[in-house]
Chain A
């Protein structure tokens, strides 16, 4: 796939939660192998949008999704689409790290195991590779079998990233992934995103404009459930076309 071809394509997307119209007629193409940030004030629907990409709304009551979300050309809301296969394509990094209640090793090996990798040698290789990819290997290599909850919160978040990468996704979804982290851990995660975009398409929800400026190639500005502006990072932040974006970037809308 070429760099600019759409990886996720959203067409006429509408989402209702409990009778409230949260996302209104969205159309976006999210490019391959780049970082795309979704920005906007609290409650504008950023996270809701992100969750529609891997159908995490399925587990919530009263959520109605209409329209199409195409991932690699496959409509994920088609009743015939097998959802575990879609979710396997995307790694989710949530606001706070939620390590699985098991050891560091088993956290990373969990995904490969449920998808059929059983051999210890294979799992060893995956675990080492992903922990190295997330700059965690040197910190944990001597205690791989101790509980993941004993790690610091920044380490836990990197572990969650390694866990997601171990499944072999093509897309990484980040939902304000650094909001619970200290500045050092935040910059480690940001650097990882920049490095990982060579191999993955990355979509981030963030409320920190400077973060969006630091890591992303494209920015989507969402306001009250609609896409106000979508373009290259430079352009959206320095020279916004829309009045609303201008106000948000200047900090008038929070």
Chain B
């Protein structure tokens, strides 16, 4: 009996410890960024672009990267959605008798889902070179779009599968064509589409590897698709690499900004998912 009690105690201890490591690291990460970044978190950081000598500690902010990241993540999410919605509809509503093909396609999207983002970046870069494009906002958007499409397709696929088949039958029985039925299904999953948008946006805004070669970097806010654009993850990278304490601090402040943006998006999508399932019953 003693041995069994000890065993119970030992494994319970291991579990609690592992949970503490996970939970603790969350607070450690957020805490560190906050502790190091908060003192440098000025209003200028949010509202100004880098002035001359920003990277050696003079005045300015990272508005260029905040806006650049919004453009890249927003553009990629919109473009990704335009491509992913038809794919998800096609997979679910037009491939009725072709189970093998639709399952194969789902597997392909699973594989794409798992490909590291640097590969998408490298692929985007190759395409740009091929077409003779320079690093630009457009290049960044394209690379990140490739990255978020599998995420969007998978999410939308899951959401469409929650729509009862009887609802489709109902629409079909009224004499709807398949496309008219698809429109009814799309109406039914509107909250799910919002969730997919937020998940995709959150992933897109935090990714560094896909934009590394493709979007470039600039101290200006891009005014056209062909200008290079700064992004938050790269702004963090450049500033943290500096030996100057002031600049490093701003790097942490930038990380804090990015974390807060992602946190807001995560909380928003959690709330929307809850709302979605509440209305389903």
Chain A contacts to B: CB under 8 angstroms: 54, 56, 58-62, 84-85, 87-88, 90-92, 94-96, 98, 100-102, 110-111, 114-115, 149, 160, 163-164, 167, 173
25 A–B pairs (Cβ distance < 8 Å), ordered by A: A54-B173, A59-B169, A59-B172, A84-B176, A87-B173, A87-B174, A87-B175, A91-B173, A91-B174, A94-B166, A94-B169, A95-B166, A98-B166, A98-B169, A100-B187, A101-B187, A101-B188, A110-B171, A111-B175, A114-B174, A114-B175, A114-B176, A115-B175, A160-B170, A167-B175
Kindly state whether residue B108 has any CB partner on chain A within 8 Å. no
Report chain A residues within 8 Å CB of B190: 101
Query: Does B96 have its Cβ within 8 Å of any Cβ on chain A?
Result: yes
Docked pose: A21 CA to B164 CA in angstroms: 26
Give the number of A-B contacts (CB < 8 Å). 71
List residues of chain A with CB within 8 A of the CB of B168: 59
CB-CB under 8 A from A95, the residues of chain B are 166
Interface centre among B173, B188, B190 (most CB of A within 10 A): B173
A85 to B172 Cα, complex, angstroms: 11
List residues of chain B with CB within 8 A of the CB of A96: 166
Contact of B173 with A61 in the complex, beta carbons under 8 Å: no
Q: Are B99 and A61 in contact (CB under 8 A)?
A: yes
Residue from B170, B176, B177, B180 in contact with A98 in the complex, judged by beta carbons closer than 8 Å: B170
Provide the bound-state CA to CA distance between A213 and B250, in Å.
81
Determine the residue in chain A with the shortest Cβ distance to B170. Answer: A98
Minimum C-beta distance from A176 to chain B (A): 12
B167 interface residue (CB < 8 Å to A): yes
A137–chain B nearest beta-carbon distance, Å: 20
A56, A60, A91, A101: residue with the most chain B Cβ atoms closer than 10 Å = A101
> Which B residues, 163 to 201, have Cβ-Cβ distances below 8 Å to chain A?
164-177, 180, 184, 187-188, 190
Complex alpha-carbon distance, A92 and B175, angstroms: 11
Residue B97, interface by CB 8 Å: yes
Q: Give the distance to chain A from B245, nearest Cβ to Cβ, in Å.
A: 56
Contact in complex: A85, B171 (CB < 8 Å): no
The smallest C-beta distance from B106 to any residue of chain A, in angstroms, reads 15
Task: Name the interface size band of chain B.
Answer: 20 to 34
Q: Which residues of B contact A115 (CB under 8 A)?
A: 175
**With A61-B99, A101-B184 as contacts: A56 and B169 at CB distance below 8 Å:** yes
Q: Which residues of A contact B187 (CB under 8 A)?
A: 100-102
Query: Are A114 and B97 CB-contacts (below 8 A) given A101-B187, A163-B174?
Result: no
Instruction: Report whether B175 and A164 are in contact in the complex, using a CB–CB cutoff of 8 Å.
Output: no
What is the CB-to-nearest-CB distance from B185 to chain A, in angstroms, rounded to a whole number?
Answer: 9
Hey, which chain A residues are within 8 Å of B96, CB to CB?
A: 58-61
A115 to B176, CA, bound (A): 8
Residues of B within 8 A of A61 (CB): 96-99
Could you tell me if B180 and A114 are in contact, using CB atoms closer than 8 angstroms? yes
In the complex, which of the residues A94, A102, A164 contacts B174, with contact meaning CB atoms closer than 8 Å? Answer: A164
Q: State whether A85 touches B175 (Cβ < 8 A).
A: yes
Chain A, Cβ-Cβ closest to B187: A101
CB–CB A90/B169 < 8 A: no
Q: Which residues of A contact B188 (CB under 8 A)?
A: 101
Q: Which residues of A contact B171 (CB under 8 A)?
A: 100, 110
CB-CB under 8 A for A94 and B170, given A61-B97, A101-B188, A114-B180: yes
Give me 11 other A-B pairs in contact (C-beta within 8 A), A88-B175, A100-B167 excluded.
A59-B172, A62-B97, A84-B175, A87-B172, A87-B174, A88-B174, A91-B173, A92-B169, A100-B171, A101-B184, A110-B171
Point out the residues of chain A lying under 8 angstroms from B99, CB to CB: 61
| A111 to chain B: closest residue by CB | B174
Residue of A nearest to B102 (CB): A61
What is the bound-complex CA distance between A96 and B96, given in angstroms?
A: 23
- Asked if residues A100 and B175 are in contact (CB atoms below 8 Å), the reply is no
Q: When chains A and B are docked, how far (Å) is the Cα of A58 from the Cα of B96?
A: 8
B195 to chain A, nearest CB (A): 16
A59-B96, A101-B188, A114-B180 given; A167·B170 CB < 8 A: no
- B164 CB to nearest chain A CB (Å): 6
CB neighbours (8 Å) of A84 from chain B are 175-177
User: Which 8 A/B pairs are nearest by Cβ-Cβ distance?
Assistant: A88-B175, A92-B173, A111-B174, A101-B188, A84-B175, A98-B167, A101-B187, A87-B175
Instruction: Kindly state the separation between the CA atoms of A160 and B98 in the bound complex, as whole angstroms.
Output: 31
Q: Which residues of A contact B167 (CB under 8 A)?
A: 98, 100-101
Q: What is the CA–CA distance of A176 and B166 in the complex, to the nearest angstrom?
A: 13
A100 and B166 within 8 A (CB): no
Q: Which residues of A contact B279 (CB under 8 A)?
A: 149
**Docked CA distance A101–B276 (Å):** 13
Instruction: Determine whether the beta carbon of B174 is less than 8 Å from that of A98.
Output: no
**CA gap between A85 and B190 in the complex, in Å:** 29
Name which residue of chain B comes closest to A54, CB basis. Answer: B173
Assembled-state Cα–Cα distance A167/B174 (Å): 7
CB distance from B79 to the nearest CB of A (A): 26
